[in-house]
């Protein structure tokens, strides 16, 4: 916008110069026009950069009389263009609307020396030109501000997108870590327990040892299949059995490893969202893994309870229990993250000699 006004100002000065050369008169008008042009370029840029209302008002108070005198000496197109430039500059300097309106209202009075009819006609034309210049300048300035705001918004959007990408990466990394721990970690624990059981009975009952090793092999193959699914990034949707069936299969594996496990289900069964199903299954899996590894229990129980607006899962055992229930292991931390992500909660209850209970409740 500044460049356009500078071009317009020099164009007005050139028009004055041509008029002087053609007529040989109005040399003072050319000199004052040169002063106006110098002030309208260098002076205007300086005042606008300061951004002070007092400087802006002072600039207009100096330029307006100069433009009036130039017009009185040479009432041509060049002088009119100088007035139009000044009106546009008033808008760019962000003068109060009242001050800009005063300048626009004074511009037609350059025709006071004309006859009544001619002065009215020329004055209205000049007024319309001044109003038009003010409106166009304001619209252009708003467009520039809108473009700047849009560019800033785009920059913020890029920053937000980058932050969202980083957050999604962290969340996905945590999810994969939980899945590896809850899936592969559980399977390897079961295999370890079954191999230990097989070694224990091998000297006395080879058939029983072979049966246990066969189950360990099945579990290892299931773990390998899960790893392969993870490597394929789950491109092929896997079939998810109903939660009660998955819990019964989990109980059978735990019973085969030496801890007799039962399943109790109450409430009206209903389909669950995949995330809810996964969280409850992983809670059961982690709970039974801890029973086998730490509880020194002989029996365990999975309790699935469908209530009005939630589903509760509890893993109980008859082991030695503990005085502390602090959930510091990675598995329990991952379960707590799953529960909180779904708007639920995870709790751990235990006491010496009273066993251990892991509970998860999530909306469903």
Average pLDDT, the chain: 82
- Write down which residue in 78, 93, 112 finishes a domain: 112
pLDDT at 305: 94
- Does residue 147 form part of some domain? no
Residue at 33 is within a domain: yes
pLDDT, residue 280, reads 93
User: Binning pLDDT at 50, 70 and 90, where does residue 216 land?
Assistant: confident
**Range of lowest pLDDT (34-43, 213-222, 225-234, 266-275):** 225-234
* Residue 56, domain member (yes or no): yes
Pairing of strands 356-363, 310-317: antiparallel
Q: What pLDDT is attached to residue 276?
A: 92
254 shares a domain with 328 = yes
Pair (194, 228) in one structural domain: yes
The answer, yes or no, to whether residue 233 has pLDDT greater than 80, is no
Same domain, 227 and 339: no
Percent over 90 (pLDDT), the chain:
15
Domain identity same for 230 and 247: no
Banded model confidence at residue 239, pLDDT cuts 50, 70, 90: low
94 and 190 belong to one structural domain? no
* Residue 156, in any domain of the structure: no
Nearest CA to 288 among 310, 324, 333, 256? 256
**pLDDT of 264 higher than 80:** yes
Residues 217 and 250 in one domain: no
Percent of the chain with pLDDT strictly greater than 70? 88
- What is the average pLDDT across 72-94? 82
pLDDT at 358: 92
Domain identity same for 292 and 219: no
CATH number, domain with residue 251:
3.30.565.10
Q: Is 152 domain-assigned?
A: no
User: In this structure, are 292 and 359 located in the same domain?
Assistant: yes
Residue 179 pLDDT > 80? no
The domain boundary, picked from 61, 77, 112, lies at 112
Domain boundary among 112, 132, 153: 112
Res 313: pLDDT? 95
Most confident range, picked from 79-88, 152-161, 300-309: 300-309
Angle (deg, nearest 10), helices 186-201 and 243-256:
30
Are 267 and 339 contained in the same domain?
A: yes
User: Residue 140 falls within a domain, yes or no?
Assistant: no
Q: Band of the pLDDT at 211, cuts 50, 70, 90?
A: confident
pLDDT mean over 189-196 = 78
Q: Which residues contact 78 (CB under 8 A, 6 or more apart)?
A: 12, 13, 14, 15, 16, 19, 33, 70
Q: How far apart are CA 344 and CA 338, in angstroms?
A: 8
pLDDT band at 186 (very low <50, low <70, confident <90, very high): low
Does residue 127 form part of some domain? no
Q: Print the domain residue range for 349.
A: 243-363
Mean pLDDT along residues 246-275: 89
Same domain, 23 and 50: yes
Say if residue 52 is in the same domain as residue 35.
yes
Task: Confirm whether 203 is domain-assigned.
Answer: yes
**For residue 193, what is the domain's CATH number?**
1.20.5
Alpha-carbon separation of residue 361 from 245, 281, 347 (angstroms): 19, 12, 9
CA distance 134 to 128: 10
What pLDDT was estimated at residue 284? 92
Q: Are residues 247 and 359 both part of a single domain?
A: yes
Overall number of domains in the chain: 3
């Amino acid at each position: 916008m500044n460049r356009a006004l500078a071009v317009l100002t020099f164009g007005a000065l050139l028009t004055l110069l041509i008029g002087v050369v053609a007529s040989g008169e109005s040399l003072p008008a050319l000199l004052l026009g040169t002063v106006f042009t110098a002030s309208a370029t260098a002076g205007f840029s300086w005042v606008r950069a300061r951004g002070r209302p007092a400087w802006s008002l002072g600039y207009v108070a100096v330029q307006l009389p100069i433009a009036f005198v130039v017009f009185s000496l040479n009432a041509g197109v060049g002088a009119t263009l100088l007035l139009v430039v000044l009106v546009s500059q008033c808008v760019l300097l962000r003068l109060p609307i009242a001050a800009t309106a005063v300048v626009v209202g004074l511009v037609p009075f350059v025709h006071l020396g004309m006859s009544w009819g001619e002065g009215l006609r020329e004055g209205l034309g000049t007024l319309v030109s001044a109003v038009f210049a003010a409106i166009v300048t304001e619209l252009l300035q708003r467009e520039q501000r809108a473009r700047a705001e849009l560019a800033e918004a785009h920059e913020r959007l890029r920053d937000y997108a980058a932050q969202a990408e980083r957050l999604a990466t962290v969340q996905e990394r945590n999810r994969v870590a939980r899945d590896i721990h809850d899936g592969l970690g559980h399977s390897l624990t079961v295999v370890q327990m079954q191999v230990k059981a097989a070694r224990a009975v091998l000297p006395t009952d080879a058939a029983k040892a072979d049966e246990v090793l066969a189950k360990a092999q099945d579990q290892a193959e299931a773990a390998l299949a899960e790893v392969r699914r993870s490597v394929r990034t789950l491109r092929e949707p896997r079939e998810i059995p109903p939660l009660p069936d998955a819990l019964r299969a989990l109980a059978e594996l735990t019973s085969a490893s030496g801890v007799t496990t039962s399943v109790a289900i109450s409430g009206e069964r209903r389909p669950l969202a995949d995330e809810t199903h996964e969280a409850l299954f992983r809670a059961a899996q982690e709970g039974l893994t801890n029973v086998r590894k730490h509880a020194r229990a002989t029996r365990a129980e999975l309790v699935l309870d469908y209530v009005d607006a939630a589903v509760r899962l509890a893993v109980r055992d008859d082991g030695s229990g503990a005085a502390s229930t602090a959930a510091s292991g990675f598995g329990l931390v991952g379960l707590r993250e799953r529960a909180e992500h779904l708007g639920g909660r995870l709790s751990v209850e235990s006491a010496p000699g009273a066993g251990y209970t892991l509970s998860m409740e999530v909306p469903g």
